[in-house]
Structure 1
Amino acid sequence: MYPPKHHQDYNVENIKSVAKAYPFATLVSAKDKTPYITHAPLILKGDTLVGHIDANNPHVALLQNNYPVTAIFQGPQTYISPTIYTTKQLPTWNYIITHAAGIVKTIKDPELIKESMVIMTDFLENSNDGFKLSKEDPRMDRLVPYIHCFEIEVQHWEGKFKLSQDKIPADIENAKHELIKNNQISIADFVNGLFQNNF
């Protein structure tokens, strides 16, 4: 990522926290100058990301043992109007984003694939009262042949938290509140609009 130092975060735990809070990742690979891009949830275990995609996805050819891949996790982002600052500024865009670059390891054992699905479901349910996926569920055996399961051994984490850090403390605080407010509003407006226009 383009690296103005005041927007870079070098605390690996901070960077990993983005992957945990926003696990729906963008996977990027390339072959013969052609990019392959897939969107899928990835669950972080230590320095390893675990995921699975449809086995018919052409990206599967590049999500094999020892292939390089980058996973992008995007946190909240918003336009920042100069009107929210206490000092004179220009418009900007604030955002939180994490890149995880690593090497793929393919998982082919059906039991390990089912286990990865159980672990992912437990993480995403995030509740003692949530849905519990069982490895013994007969539907799992029918599903496994259609899934490509893999791990990414992360070799490099990179975090860019562009949050108006170059401004005075009052303006940094205002930008933080604007990020929170705009994300809540934009999500509600977008989802409500989708239901009105498309369903």
Structure 2
Amino acid sequence: MYIPKSFQETDQTTLLQFVRDHSFALLITTGDDGIPVATHLPIELQPTTDGNFQLVGHLAKANAQWTLLGRDIPALAVFSGPHSYISSSWYDHVNVPTWNYLSVQITGRTTLLSDDETLELLRQQVDKYEARSKCPVSIESMTERYVRQQMRGLVAFSMAIETIEGAAKLSQNRDDKNYQAIIAELNQQDDTNAQAVASEMAHRRPTINP
């Protein structure tokens, strides 16, 4: 993706943690006809036996996109974080409005998972997302026969990480005065996205004169 140098996020630890924290992603694949196909779905970051990482997820079998998996054509996974409109009225000079955001894109080739691998993925995902439930369910609370019957309706995959790019467009090109003004304005918005952007900006450039 296009990322101006000042907005590039290159720290691998930060990029991988972002993927963990924003796992509801957009998976994009391309067929022989050249037409891209996309699906929104949770995609997990998983360590591999060689000390690297891969992505894993699953699609409904009724979703024809799964037939594009397991090919020698790279797929693209897009992970999006908080974002917000930035009004140029917040600056102390004339300028144009813009948009601040956080995003990570990963490309790689996909492989279809076996039934046992799929079952383990479902176990991990259910445990992860049920962790905050008042009455959490688990794969173990269901019979394996029932779970495997449900598995007939989905296709799971892994995706090797070939490239990973991150964008943190957070007004880094502004001086301290305007940077802090943007944070203040975002915090006044009745919008969790705007406030999350403000929090990230404040973390990256703490107030010099609080």
Give the TM interval when normalised to the shorter protein.
Answer: 0.7 to 0.9
Question: What's the counterpart of residue 76 of structure 2?
Answer: 70
| TM-score normalised by length of structure 2 | 0.78
Residues in 2 aligned to 1:80 and 1:97: alpha-carbon distance in whole angstroms: 17
Unpaired runs of 5+ in structure 2? Answer: 48-52, 195-210
SS at 1:95 equivalent: strand
Distance 1:91 1:156, change over 3 A: same
Distance 1:170 1:130, change over 3 A: farther
Distance 1:182 1:103, change over 3 A: farther
Q: Does 1:104 align with 2:110?
A: yes
Identity %: 26
Question: What's the counterpart of residue 28 of structure 2?
Answer: 28
Residues in 2 aligned to 1:174 and 1:16: alpha-carbon distance in whole angstroms: 30
Question: What's the counterpart of residue 124 of structure 2?
Answer: 119
Q: Does 1:157 align with 2:164?
A: yes
Instruction: Provide the aligned C-alpha RMSD in A.
Output: 2.4
- Once the two structures are TM-superposed, the CA of residue 13 in structure 1 deviates from its matched residue by 1.6
Q: Does 1:94 align with 2:100?
A: yes
Greater strand share, 1 or 2? 1
**Equivalent pair of 1:118/1:134 in contact (CA under 8 Å):** yes
Question: What's the counterpart of residue 168 of structure 1?
Answer: 175
Q: Deviations over 1:164-190 (max 9, x none)?
A: 00001233234345556464178xxxx
Distance 1:166 1:65, change over 3 A: same
**Equivalent pair of 2:83/2:193 in contact (CA under 8 Å):** no
| TM-score normalised by length of structure 1 | 0.82
SS at 2:109 equivalent: strand
Unpaired runs of 5+ in structure 1? Answer: 187-199
Number of residue pairs the alignment of both structures matches: 186
SS at 2:148 equivalent: helix
Query: 130, 135, 138: which is aligned to 1:133?
Result: 138
Distance 1:55 1:122, change over 3 A: same
